[in-house]
Amino acid sequence: MLQKINHIGIAVQSLDETLPFYRDGLKMPLCGIEEVADQKVRVAMLGIGESKIELLEPTSPDSPIAKFLDKNGPGIHHIAYEVDDVAQAIEQMIAEGARMIDQVPRDGAHGTRIAFVHPKSSHGVLTELCQAGH
């Protein structure tokens, strides 16, 4: 079902303040910056081999990322595993008894289709299933 780690999501207070470390310090290529209105975040994707780092900046105080930052400060927010077919992956997870935040796929950054597993079922690591965009 899983192909690889598609990306690791990291919550940041400010993309402008964080990007120089990844782009200039670590020399990771910036794949793009995009706003995901649904999640109230601005997202920067940086490439690392077959995977990516997804920097998440809240665009509103009621963004889920703003709430995460209030509680935990900046840091790793979630791990996204790549799947061929996210709808099928959701069905399999539910069949295995997992709780899903998303019972149906929704749009992620850069044309992906995604679904989050409920943290109660993923033992403290927020887990995203991610179908690559085309």
Q: Does 11 bind Co ion (CB under 5 A)?
A: no
Restricting to residues 114-133, name those near Co ion by CB under 5 A: 128
Handedness of CA 56, 61, 63, 64 (dihedral sign): positive
Q: Choose which of 46, 65, 80, 90 interacts with Co ion (CB under 5 A).
A: 80
Which of 9, 74 has the CB closer to Co ion?
Answer: 9
Minimal distance, residue 42 CB to Co ion, in Å = 13
Minimal distance, residue 73 CB to Co ion, in Å = 19
Minimal distance, residue 108 CB to Co ion, in Å = 6
Minimal distance, residue 80 CB to Co ion, in Å = 4
Strand boundaries in the chain, DSSP class E:
2-11, 30-36, 41-48, 51-58, 75-83, 106-107, 113-117, 127-131
Restricting to residues 49-78, name those near Co ion by CB under 5 A: 54
Q: Does 105 bind Co ion (CB under 5 A)?
A: no
What span, in angstroms and rounded, lies between the C-alpha atoms of 12 and 85? 29
> What's the per-residue H, E or C state across 36-66?
EHHHCEEEEEEEECCEEEEEEEECCCCCHHH
Which of 97, 118 has the CB closer to Co ion?
Answer: 118
Residue 99 near residue 89 (C-beta atoms within 8 A): no
Residue of this chain nearest to Co ion (CB atom): 9
Q: What are phi and psi of 87, to 5 degrees?
A: -65, -40
Residue 27 near residue 48 (C-beta atoms within 8 A): no
- Number of shown-chain residues binding Co ion (CB under 5 A): 4
Residues that bind Co ion (CB under 5 A): 9, 54, 80, 128
